[in-house]
Amino acid sequence: MPIIEVSHINKTYNTYKKGSDRFKEAISFSHRSLHSQFTALEDISFDLSTGECLGIIGTNGSGKSTLLKIITGVLQPTGGTVYVDGKISALLELGAGFNGEYTGIENIILNGKIMGYSEEEMRERIPQIADFAEIGEFINQPVKIYSSGMFARLAFAVAINVDPDILIIDEALSVGDIFFQTKCYRKFDEFMQKGKTILFVSHDLSSVIKYCNRCLLLHKGKQVALGDCKTVVDIYRKILVDQYDEDNGLATVKEERVRADDQPAKAELVVMKNAVLQNPNYVEYGDRDIVIDDFGIVNDAGEVSSILTKGSNYAIVMKFHFNKRVNNPIFAFTIKDPKGTDLCGTNTMLEGQTLEKTEAGMSGMVRFKQVMRLQGGQYFLSLGATSYLGEELQVHHRLYDICHLQVISDYNTIGVYDVESTVTYENVKRPEA
C-alpha cells in the first residue's frame, strides 16, 4: 500500500478583474458570473512508497507548491483524492507556522503541537533541535528578529527532529549557507536509510538527481513526466528553452537542424540562441565592426541546451559576420559564477587560432570544444569579439552574462571544478596477530 497516493487531482481558482466583482457576484439575484477560472493543477496522479524520495521540478508557477499544500492538507483539491498514511513534517515556506512574536523555543513547541505532539514531547526534543539549528542564544529571542538563514536553520531543525514518516521540503534549503546545506543533506541520507519518505521540490537539478529515486515534472499545472530523474530532467531542460510542444511532445533541438539556417531561409528553422536560456539582464556593447549573430551551447548528444552534465563533452559555438575589415580578430568566451567571478574561459588568440585575413561581409562560425569540469551549479556565459589596434584593445561586440548555464552532477567534489582525482590504496597491511 503506498504511503502517499495522489489520484487525478485538480485545483482551480476563481479570479476577478476587480476586487468588488467578487461581492457583486455574491449578491447578484441573476447569478451573473463575474469571474474567470484559473487552473493551477490538472489531473495529477502518482503514488509514493515508504522509503522513496520523489523530486518535483518545474518552472515557477507550474503548481509545485500548490500540490504540496494539497498533500499536507493546507489546501483542498477541487477534484480528485489524496491518501496519506503517516505523519507529515513539512517546510512549505520560510517561516510558515511560526509566530513572529514568539521566541524560537515557543515556536518549537507551537510547531510540535501543530504536528500532533504534546508540549512535554517537544520540550524533550528542544536540546537536539537547538543543537542542529546552531543559532545560539537567539533561540530565546522573538523570531521576528531572525535573519532568513536563522529562520531556515530553525525550521529545518524542527522538521527533521520530530520523527516524521514523510518529510516535505519546498526550496527551503536554498536559504542556508553551504555548511548548513551540507548538514541538511546528510540528514537526507539518514532519513532515507531509516526508510523515511521524502517529497523534495527544488530548482537544484543536481540535488534532485543525486537524492531522488524518481522525479515528477509539472508544467503549467499539468503532469508532463514521472520517472527516472535523468530522463525527466532532460525533458525539463527543453521546457526551459521553449522547446516543449504541449500537443505533440518534445522538439529536440539538434545542431544539424540549427545549422540548417545557412540554407535558404525557412520560417520553421531554429537559431541557436533561441534554444538556450538567455539572461534578460545581459549587457551588450561594442563598435559592431564584428557582430556575433548567433550563439549556442551544444552538448555531447548534439543538442543545443543551457543544461550540461559534469564530465560531458560540449562546445560553445558563435556565428559572426564582419561589417568592416578587422586585423587578427579575437573570439572569446568566459564562464562566471553568479557573483561575477571569472571561473574559466579562453579565446582564439590564446589557442593560436586567429583569423589573419578578413574583409567586410565575411561571415562564419567558431567552435570551442571542451569537457565540462565545473561542479554542479549555476553559471553565466559571456561572449566577445575583439582585436588589437597597436597595443589598444578594440571591443567590437561583447555579450556580457548573455546566457545562463546549469551544470548537473550526481556528485560534487570540493571547490569550483573537479580535479578528477584517481584514488588507489597501496601496501595496506593488517597488524600481525
pLDDT confidence of residue 29: 65
pLDDT confidence of residue 433: 64
**Amino acid at position 2, single letter:** P
Residue 261 has pLDDT above 90, yes or no: no
CA neighbor of 62 nearest in space, from 275, 229, 239: 239
pLDDT confidence tier of residue 242, bands split at 50, 70 and 90:
low
Residue 259 has pLDDT above 50, yes or no: no
Choose from 179-183, 207-211, 417-421 the range with maximum mean pLDDT: 417-421
pLDDT confidence of residue 409: 86
Q: What is the pLDDT of residues 314-360, one digit of tens each?
A: 999 999 999 999 999 999 999 998 888 899 999 999 999 988 889 99
Residue 230 CA, chain-centre distance (Å), reads 14
Lowest-confidence segment of 138-152, 229-243, 289-303, 373-387 by average pLDDT: 229-243
Q: What is the pLDDT of residues 167-188, one digit of tens each?
A: 888 766 555 566 677 777 777 7
CB atoms near residue 159 (< 10 Å): 23
Residue 10 has pLDDT above 50, yes or no: yes
Tell me what percent of the residues of the chain surpass a pLDDT of 90: 35
pLDDT confidence of residue 118: 86
Largest CA distance in the chain: 95
Choose from 50-64, 271-285, 320-334 the range with maximum mean pLDDT: 320-334
CB 383 within 8 A of CB 399: yes
The cell for 35 is 469571474
pLDDT confidence of residue 313: 94
pTM of the model: 0.70
Q: What is the pLDDT of residues 210-236, one digit of tens each?
A: 888 899 999 989 999 999 888 888 788
State the chain's mean pLDDT as an integer. 83
pLDDT confidence tier of residue 254, bands split at 50, 70 and 90:
very low
Residue 166 CA, chain-centre distance (Å), reads 23
Q: Which helix (H) or strand (E) holds 209?
A: helix 205-211
Residue 95 has pLDDT above 60, yes or no: no
* Mean pLDDT, residues 64-83 taken together: 90
Choose from 5-9, 106-110, 201-205 the range with maximum mean pLDDT: 5-9
Q: What is the pLDDT of residues 22-31, one digit of tens each?
A: 766 666 666 6
From the number of C-beta atoms within 10 Å of its C-beta (0-12, 13-18, 19+), residue 141 rates as middle
Q: Bridge-partner residues for 294, per DSSP?
A: 319
CB 56 within 8 A of CB 216: yes
pLDDT confidence tier of residue 244, bands split at 50, 70 and 90:
low
Residue 16 has pLDDT above 90, yes or no: no
Complete domains list, the chain, with CATH: 4-240 (3.40.50.300), 257-408 (2.70.50.60)
pLDDT confidence tier of residue 377, bands split at 50, 70 and 90:
confident
Residue 268 has pLDDT above 60, yes or no: no
Q: Is 375 left (phi over 0), alpha (psi -120 to 50) or beta?
A: beta
Lowest-confidence segment of 103-107, 207-211, 357-361 by average pLDDT: 207-211
Q: What is the DSSP string of 148-171?
A: HHHHHHHHHHHHHTS--SEEEEES
Residue 280 has pLDDT above 60, yes or no: yes
pLDDT confidence tier of residue 265, bands split at 50, 70 and 90:
very low
pLDDT confidence of residue 267: 30
pLDDT confidence of residue 34: 65
pLDDT confidence of residue 23: 63
pLDDT confidence of residue 349: 94
Alpha helices in 161-295 (DSSP H): 178-193, 205-211, 229-240, 255-259
pLDDT confidence of residue 178: 65
The cell for 114 is 501543530
